[in-house]
Amino acid sequence: MFDTITEKKFLLTELVKQNLTSKYKDSVLGILWSFFNPLLTMLVFTAIFSMLFGHNIKNYPVYYLAGRLAFDFYNHGTKGAMNSIRKNANILKKIYVPKRMFTVSAVCYEFVNFLISFAILFGVMIITRAPFHPTLLFSIIPIVLLVVLVFGVGLILSVCNTYFTDIGYLYNVFTLVLLYASAMFYPIEIVPSQVQFIFTLNPVYCAMSCFRQCVYGAIPDITMILYLGTFAFTALGIGLLLFNIYEKKLALEL
C-alpha cells in the first residue's frame, strides 16, 4: 500500500481537491470567496487604518494585503495541519492511509489558496497603480521558507493536537497574539524601537516583512531571511522527528 510516489501524489491531489470543493460547497459564489474574503477585509481595514497610518505607509491596501496573505497562509496552514488527523479520524481508524498524507494535503491546500489570492494582490496593485518591481521575483525566498515553516509547525501541532485536544484552543489564542505581533495592519514604526527587536524574533513577522520588501521594490533583509530559514528548518526537523515517532501510535489516540 502506497509504495510508489505516483500513488501518493494521486491521493494528495485528490485530498486537496476534496478540501477545495468542500470548503464552499453550499455557497453561491463558491471558490470566488477565496478572492472576496481578503478583498473585503482589505477594504474595511483600508477605510479604518489608512487614516491612522496613511502618512506612514505608502499604498496601504497593498501593504495590508501583502501582510494579510502571508499571515493567512501561516494561520490557516498550521491550523489545517493541526486538525488534519482528528478531522479524518473515521477514515484513519478504518483504512490504512499514511497519516502524513492528511497533514501534507492540508498545507498544500492552503498553499493553493495562497497562490490563488495572489491574483487579488496583483489586481489591487494594478488598480492602485503600484509599480511592479523586479524584486518581486525575490519573494520566492520568503515564500518557500514560509512553506517550510508551516510544514514544520503543522506537523508538530498535528501530533500534539491528537494527544491533547486543548492544544487547538490554545493555539487559536496564540495566533491572535501572533497577528498583533506581526505588524500585519500597522507600520512597525509605531512600535517603540526597543520593542521592535522582539518583533524580529517572530518568524512570521520576518516572512511577512521580507515578502513586503520584495513587493515594495527592496531586496529582502538578509539577516531576517537567515533567521527565518534557521527557524523554519529547525521546526521542520522537529516536526518530522515527532511525526516519525508518533505516526503509528496516532490511530490509537483517535
- The site for other proteins (CB under 8 A) is made up of 1-4, 6-8, 10-11, 14-15, 18, 21-22, 25, 90-98, 100, 163-167, 170, 236-237, 240-241, 243-244, 248-249, 251-253
Q: How far is the CB of 176 from other proteins (least distance, A)?
A: 18
- Lookup result for grid cell 487547538: 168
Q: Which amino acid is at 231?
A: F
Question: Contact 67/212 with Cβ under 8 angstroms?
Answer: yes
Nearer to other proteins, 9 or 58 (CB): 9
Nearer to other proteins, 58 or 93 (CB): 93
Q: How far is the CB of 181 from other proteins (least distance, A)?
A: 23
| Spatial distance between the Cα atoms of 182 and 187, rounded to a whole number of angstroms | 10
- Non-local CB neighbours of 11 within 8 Å, separated by 6+ positions: 2, 97, 101, 105
Q: How far is the CB of 86 from other proteins (least distance, A)?
A: 11
Q: How far is the CB of 227 from other proteins (least distance, A)?
A: 19
E-strand spans in the chain?
none
Nearer to other proteins, 59 or 84 (CB): 84
Nearer to other proteins, 18 or 223 (CB): 18
Whole-angstrom CA distances from 248 to 94, 97, 113, 245, 251 are 14, 11, 30, 8, 7
